[in-house]
A and B are shown apart, each in its own frame.
Chain A
Amino acid sequence: MNAFDFAAPTSVEDAVKLLDGQNTAALAGGTDLLGRIKDQVTSPQRVVYLKDIKASSGISGDAGSGLTIGAGTLLAAIVEHKAIREAYPALWQSTTEVGTPQIRNMATLGGNLLQRPRCWYFRAGNGLLAMKDGKSLVRGGDNRYHAIFMTDGDALYVNPSSLAVPLIALGATATIKGPKGERTVPVEDLYQVPRTDKDSELSVASGELLTKVMIPPARGKNASYEVRQKQAHDWPFVLASVNLTMDGDKVSASRIVIYGVAPVPWRSNAAEKSITGKPVTMETAAVAGEDATEGAMPLSMNAYKVSLTKTAVKRALLAAVGNRYWEV
């Protein structure tokens, strides 16, 4: 790793000042950044350590009024939070499945949302889009873990945040502080699709700091379903989160978001449209899962993710109404 300046501010304002400038990096749990620095994927000139900022961690509010989660809140604290477990199972479930207990004891919500993609071409130093001589290494290479949506573009990695998915389904917003003040955006707006290797996949600019996430009051039913290979430490292949507003037995409105299939958390309008106005049954959930794959264009080695998408959406919908048919 290269030598770098290190700062450990105790206030958000100081952190924002320190982050302003060329080539700075915010360090919270370090579960992503430290590996990138050691592997020379990221070589910041200044590292700003955030864990001394007491104001940026903690969970407040309740299911009735909505929750505010500080960006510096440990994932372990989310797992232990009773209201999240009871009222926001989509978020709770996904958080329990991140990394290992050790990682959840270090990693923060902000760090999870703003981590960089795990694409092995990116991590091997080929740049975010992994283009070589004008050709995509991903498209012609081993893309078993890559995207199946938006694959007509050049960004073929998948967004790595498995917590963005439930948060977007729940309609959460993120507050960002920068030199020009504070702004609050929907969580989905944290992400963008880069056109060139110089673009970032994150919309948070250098000098900006994600401070908190706010989740609206819990109404209706929500759930997540993750398909992963190992039970121990592993990444999901595909994860679906659903948030359903119910009118009696029927879904009156829905948000369905999928991980592992696109360079951004993938909001499936097709699946939402499919389930809205219907009760969630084995049949309607299966159709919604099927509809969720509309427009999928798998790469050479990841057609299996189309099947996983169907299953994850179907099971997340059924989990939301208490039908865990696959556990019998």
Chain B
Amino acid sequence: MANWPASPNLIGKSIPRLDGLLKASGKAKYPSDVRPEGTLFGVMLYSPYAHARVKSIDLSPAETMPGVKAAIAIAKAGTPLRYQGDDIAAVAAETEEQARDAIRAIKVEYEVLPHVVTEHQAMAEGAPEVFKGSNIRNNSRKGRSQTKGNPEEAMSKADVTIEGTYSLPVITHVCLEPHGLTAKWEGPDKLTVWASTQAVQVVAGELADALDIPVANVTVLTDYMGGGFGSKFSADVWGRTAAELAQKAGKPVKLFLDRAQEHLAAGNRPSAAGKIKLGATRDGKLVALIATTHGTGGARGGSLFPLPYVYDVAASARTHNEVFVNCGGARAMRAPGHPQACALMEAAMDDLADKLGIDPLEFRLKNLAPGDFHTPIYEGEVRQGAELIGWREKRKPRGQNGGGPVRHGLGMALHQWGGGGTQDKKVSCTINPDGSVELKAATQDIGTGARTILAVIAAEVLGLRPTDIISNIGNSSFPPGQPSGGSTTSPSMAPPCLDAVTRARDAMFKKVAPTVQAAAEDLELRNGQLYVEGEPIMGWKEACRKLGMASISETGSAADGLASVGVGGCQFAEVTVDIETGVVRVKKIVAIQDSGLIIDRLTWESQVYGGVIMGLNYGLFEERIMDPETGVMLNPDLEFYKLAGASDIPEIVVRAYDPPDQKARGVIGVGEPPTISTAAAIANAVTNAIGVRVPEWPMTPRNVLNALATASKEGKA
């Protein structure tokens, strides 16, 4: 069985991604860049109302418009529309403008129904129902409650308690490349699509099902894609519709959502709000947590998140209310549930540490689960992070950060994640007589560097450079590959890649050995050379020529011991807060992350940077703003849906926590964990700076000034 090399040449080094230059220079063709000859533009018509029923729909005015080649009704008379952005119809035309004009010409009669678009509206007495039954579904029914020990009794014995109310808004994925695909029929039952997806084989299967054609005849191609973050696993209604429009029109159809529909219908991270009571002994050991929380995943649900989070609490009780509203449904978003859990838990932890008068860093270390595998890892990470942010020199107790208008603060938070792989994926490796090496797998590069990671592994085993390897992924017809979700891609794909390339190399040795009068076990590949008993005898290409006419092709599978699951990490934030304007500036983030064996340190670090930046946006800027009266989203754009620009990004210090025992664990995914604790750490730093808790995310001037005003009214600041 293959194993990771004990002293690798490439694995663990910083290696530029194979397609980095293509991406940076604009030469990489993303699915939304692909326009086969004759491509028509598809546009969706979606519900302008938060809640309505279609009374009638008439496509004919659109069908006769100039350039229009096909129109399809998705909704029919009687179809309920449960959110602004819900699918109604689609049109394909020769130009985008013609398609957009045609969409507006479709005649739809609506019966507009009462809506609820905020949790406040949905939870009110007598609120209109999103689905039959209550808008609130809680987990306290039998078998679903989350109670451990006797929390009421434990709380009553706690020396010190706090009760805090905290909330985070719904945010959306904001993939730079919108959802969609270009569909081209190659024959009556044969389809090729270029899809912006994080799961080529899932999309192929869904399209085959929806269109009733063999999945073997559906090829989904995703050479590159502009962000998914959990929202792009499916072909979706619009993807299926694009294929149907293409079928009807007899021409390829490109259908990608516009920015507004991206915000409205293509997924979001559920909100989270809660009242948390946390109790500890005088010397800072947690004894009880009692929490009532709620959140909304729109019309879809999915707002539950873990609580307590990370820390060891002997007794806890937690009730969660899932609130349904007339908004687009939630989808998985980079570490589903965890950023919310982390923000709420870590805010309460900080507030309790403050009341106890204990350094929040020490308080956290004190409450890690004794004997847990990850406890010493957290301890190591916290020590390293504290040093890099200057915790001991710079941090002052809450509210003791000077008297000027601009206050300085430090905060921290811990997080956890899985990141394990699956065992059923394959990679094929072909070594050709011309010396070219091709890897194939039906996984895709969601931006993490999957393509490069596979090439690094192959180059390591074959003694080549990563650029010598043709790493072909993003094609559903290749050997079964992992969807890019749950930080599972690398741990699922790296082991079968190692196995495939090792097998291919061994098969090559077997064929080449007799031609060089050596035993296969005496052959070695290093520095682009074939070695016999430690002596270089010929170059890689020459060695491959010995294969004659036949290529070598081997398929690899997963094996035990090459990948693992379970990571932790911590982040520290340094901020300034102008108490006269409420403006928060993040000065520095330190991110310490463990994730087992790192294949490519450069793409690994990029993942952590990206995660931190996403977390910074969650902490400072992002918020889906719904209008209770009209039921529409007020900021379905990038103007008032705020995201950091380059000048809003602080110094970010990234460190891998990977001593030898971490490397020995094998590969673990890192896509999600580094985004979890950033917003929590920033909020704790803001609180440290200004002396009062800002209970609502994001940390906008409005929320900061409101918190200061409330505290001032209560005589606290």
| Mutual binders A and B | yes
Task: Report which A residues bind B (CB closer than 8 A).
Answer: 1-2, 40, 100, 118, 120-121, 124, 126, 132, 137, 140-142, 144-145, 227-235, 237, 301-304, 307-308, 310-311, 314-315, 325-326, 328
Q: Is the CB of B634 within 8 A of A124?
A: yes
B628: which A residues are within 8 A, CB to CB? 141
Q: Is the CB of B621 within 8 A of A229?
A: yes
Asked if A229 meets B625 with Cβ closer than 8 Å, knowing A137-B630, A234-B642, the reply is no
Binary contact track B677-704/A, C-beta < 8 Å → 1, others 0:
0000000000000000000000011100
Q: Is the CB of B648 within 8 A of A231?
A: yes
Asked whether any CB of chain A lies closer than 8 Å to the CB of B109, the reply is no
Q: Is the CB of A120 within 8 A of B701?
A: no
Quote the shortest CB–CB distance from A176 to chain B (angstroms).
Answer: 29
Quote the shortest CB–CB distance from A32 to chain B (angstroms).
Answer: 11
Asked whether any CB of chain A lies closer than 8 Å to the CB of B38, the reply is no
Asked if A311 meets B627 with Cβ closer than 8 Å, knowing A229-B700, A237-B701, A304-B706, the reply is no
Quote the shortest CB–CB distance from A324 to chain B (angstroms).
Answer: 11
Quote the shortest CB–CB distance from A120 to chain B (angstroms).
Answer: 4
Asked whether any CB of chain A lies closer than 8 Å to the CB of B514, the reply is no
A230: which B residues are within 8 A, CB to CB? 621, 642, 644-645, 647-648
A310: which B residues are within 8 A, CB to CB? 580
Q: How far is the CA of A228 from the CA of B642 in the complex (A)?
A: 12
Nearest residue in B to A312 (C-beta to C-beta)? B581
Nearest residue in B to A100 (C-beta to C-beta)? B645
Q: Is the CB of B645 within 8 A of A233?
A: yes
For this complex, into which size category does the number of interface residues on chain B fall?
35 or more
Across the A-B interface, the 9 shortest Cβ-Cβ residue pairs = A232-B645, A231-B647, A304-B705, A311-B580, A120-B634, A304-B702, A232-B647, A227-B581, A326-B405
Contact partner, B100, options A1, A118, A126, Cβ 8 Å? A1
Binary contact track B290-307/A, C-beta < 8 Å → 1, others 0:
000000000000000000
Asked whether any CB of chain A lies closer than 8 Å to the CB of B632, the reply is yes
Binary contact track B250-290/A, C-beta < 8 Å → 1, others 0:
00000000000000000000000000000000000000000
Q: Is the CB of A328 within 8 A of B404?
A: yes
Contact partner, A308, options B101, B581, B706, Cβ 8 Å? B581
B319-341 CB contacts (< 8 Å) to partner A? none
Q: How far is the CA of A64 from the CA of B114 in the complex (A)?
A: 63
A100: which B residues are within 8 A, CB to CB? 645
B634: which A residues are within 8 A, CB to CB? 120-121, 124, 141-142
Q: Is the CB of B632 within 8 A of A124?
A: yes
Q: How far is the CA of A328 from the CA of B630 in the complex (A)?
A: 45
B605-633 CB contacts (< 8 Å) to partner A? 620-621, 625, 627-630, 632
A328: which B residues are within 8 A, CB to CB? 404, 406
Asked whether any CB of chain A lies closer than 8 Å to the CB of B640, the reply is yes
Q: Is the CB of A229 within 8 A of B583?
A: yes
Give 6 A-B contacts (CB < 8 Å), ordered by A residue.
Answer: A1-B97, A40-B104, A142-B625, A304-B706, A326-B405, A326-B580
A2: which B residues are within 8 A, CB to CB? 101
B621: which A residues are within 8 A, CB to CB? 229-230
Asked whether any CB of chain A lies closer than 8 Å to the CB of B192, the reply is no
B101: which A residues are within 8 A, CB to CB? 2
Nearest residue in A to B627 (C-beta to C-beta)? A141
Q: Is the CB of A227 within 8 A of B583?
A: yes
B646: which A residues are within 8 A, CB to CB? 232
Asked whether any CB of chain A lies closer than 8 Å to the CB of B635, the reply is yes
A228: which B residues are within 8 A, CB to CB? 583
Nearest residue in B to A308 (C-beta to C-beta)? B581
Task: Report which B residues bind A (CB closer than 8 A).
Answer: 97, 100-101, 104, 404-406, 578, 580-583, 585, 620-621, 625, 627-630, 632, 634-635, 639-640, 642, 644-648, 700-702, 705-706, 709
For the residues of B in contact with A, the DSSP-based class is: loop
Quote the shortest CB–CB distance from A170 to chain B (angstroms).
Answer: 24
Contact partner, B645, options A227, A231, A308, A311, Cβ 8 Å? A231
B632: which A residues are within 8 A, CB to CB? 124
Q: How far is the CA of A137 from the CA of B630 in the complex (A)?
A: 8
Asked if A118 meets B639 with Cβ closer than 8 Å, knowing A132-B629, A230-B621, A232-B644, the reply is yes
Q: Is the CB of A144 within 8 A of B629?
A: no
Kindly list 7 other residue pairs between chains A and B, CB separation below 8 angstroms, not including A141-B628, A230-B642, A230-B644: A2-B101, A121-B634, A231-B585, A232-B644, A308-B705, A311-B581, A325-B405
Nearest residue in A to B405 (C-beta to C-beta)? A326
B702: which A residues are within 8 A, CB to CB? 144, 301-302, 304
Q: Is the CB of B635 within 8 A of A120?
A: yes
Contact partner, A142, options B620, B627, B706, Cβ 8 Å? B627
Interface-central residue, B645, B701, B706, by most chain A CB under 10 Å: B701
Q: Is the CB of A227 within 8 A of B405?
A: no
Q: How far is the CA of A311 from the CA of B620 in the complex (A)?
A: 21
Q: How far is the CA of A314 from the CA of B578 in the complex (A)?
A: 14
Quote the shortest CB–CB distance from A119 to chain B (angstroms).
Answer: 10
Q: How far is the CA of A304 from the CA of B621 in the complex (A)?
A: 17
Asked if A137 meets B706 with Cβ closer than 8 Å, knowing A227-B581, A231-B647, A311-B580, the reply is no
A307: which B residues are within 8 A, CB to CB? 580-582, 705, 709
Q: How far is the CA of A231 from the CA of B634 in the complex (A)?
A: 22
Quote the shortest CB–CB distance from B19 to chain A (angstroms).
Answer: 26
Q: Is the CB of A137 within 8 A of B627?
A: yes
Quote the shortest CB–CB distance from A137 to chain B (angstroms).
Answer: 6
Q: Is the CB of B405 within 8 A of A304?
A: no
Interface-central residue, B100, B406, B585, B630, by most chain A CB under 10 Å: B630
Nearest residue in A to B700 (C-beta to C-beta)? A229
A40: which B residues are within 8 A, CB to CB? 104
A326: which B residues are within 8 A, CB to CB? 404-406, 578, 580
A303: which B residues are within 8 A, CB to CB? 706, 709
Q: Is the CB of A304 within 8 A of B644?
A: no
A301: which B residues are within 8 A, CB to CB? 702
A1: which B residues are within 8 A, CB to CB? 97, 100
B97: which A residues are within 8 A, CB to CB? 1
A314: which B residues are within 8 A, CB to CB? 580
Q: Is the CB of A229 within 8 A of B642?
A: yes
Interface-central residue, B406, B580, B585, by most chain A CB under 10 Å: B580
Q: How far is the CA of A144 from the CA of B626 in the complex (A)?
A: 12
Nearest residue in A to B699 (C-beta to C-beta)? A229
Q: How far is the CA of A120 from the CA of B644 in the complex (A)?
A: 21
Q: Is the CB of B630 within 8 A of A132?
A: yes
A325: which B residues are within 8 A, CB to CB? 404-405
B630: which A residues are within 8 A, CB to CB? 124, 126, 132, 137, 141
B580: which A residues are within 8 A, CB to CB? 307, 310-311, 314-315, 326
B104: which A residues are within 8 A, CB to CB? 40
Q: Is the CB of B701 within 8 A of A304?
A: yes
Q: How far is the CA of A231 from the CA of B616 in the complex (A)?
A: 14
Interface-central residue, A126, A233, A310, by most chain B CB under 10 Å: A233
Asked if A229 meets B701 with Cβ closer than 8 Å, knowing A1-B100, A126-B630, A325-B405, the reply is yes
Asked if A145 meets B640 with Cβ closer than 8 Å, knowing A140-B629, A229-B700, A304-B702, the reply is yes
A233: which B residues are within 8 A, CB to CB? 645
Quote the shortest CB–CB distance from B179 to chain A (angstroms).
Answer: 20
Q: How far is the CA of A202 from the CA of B632 in the complex (A)?
A: 28
Q: How far is the CA of A316 from the CA of B632 in the complex (A)?
A: 38
Quote the shortest CB–CB distance from B15 to chain A (angstroms).
Answer: 31
Quote the shortest CB–CB distance from A162 to chain B (angstroms).
Answer: 15
B100: which A residues are within 8 A, CB to CB? 1
Q: How far is the CA of A304 from the CA of B583 in the complex (A)?
A: 12
Nearest residue in B to A310 (C-beta to C-beta)? B580
Q: Is the CB of A232 within 8 A of B648?
A: yes
Q: How far is the CA of A135 from the CA of B285 in the complex (A)?
A: 55
Nearest residue in A to B97 (C-beta to C-beta)? A1
Quote the shortest CB–CB distance from B170 to chain A (angstroms).
Answer: 14
Quote the shortest CB–CB distance from A254 to chain B (angstroms).
Answer: 21
